[in-house]
Amino acid sequence: MAENHKFKLALSWLAVLLFMLVIYFLSAQPAGVSNTYSKGIIAFLVENTLKLAGKAVAEQDMLRLVYKINSAAREYMHGVVFFVLGMLVHNAMRQSGARGVKAVAATLAVCMLFGITDEIHQIFVPGRAFEVSDLVMDTAGSALGIGVIRVLCRRKKGPPV
């Protein structure tokens, strides 16, 4: 039983570290490269969704649609990414034995500290900058992720998480 817990503990923190590396890698991309990648992904999704729906739109309308969706996606991506980070860190905290307010505070502190270091890192990446609005999205996403884990754990076991 103890070996199983040690394995879960190590695996949960490894997941946190790997996800943080993914965030770091994405943040290290110059703004133009990142925007090009996301536009390409959005264009692929929109084109194929329209094909599946049997719809056709003019090229100009397609470009406007891709631009609007890409802008919204890039605006909210920090929240989405930190939502996942909040869930991963809170799970790792729980595996480490933290519960209740301590687990929430520690998780939020880790996520916020990582968000700050991510924004500082972006100062040195071409076309990127330290954005307070990104930190707000990071914090909101982390808090929502923590909340989801807490709700799921309450449903599963019942005791405080």
Q: Is 100 left (phi over 0), alpha (psi -120 to 50) or beta?
A: left
CB 141 within 8 A of CB 133: no
Q: What is the pLDDT of residues 68-115, one digit of tens each?
A: 999 988 889 999 999 999 999 999 999 999 999 999 999 999 999 999
Q: What's the pTM?
A: 0.84
For the CA atoms of the chain, what is the radius of gyration? 19
Tokens of 160: 């405080």
Single-letter amino acid code for the residue at 107: T
Q: Residue 79 to residues 89, 127, 141: CA-CA distances in angstroms?
A: 15, 20, 4
Q: What is the pLDDT of residues 133-149, one digit of tens each?
A: 999 999 999 999 999 99
Say yes or no to pLDDT of 120 above 70: yes
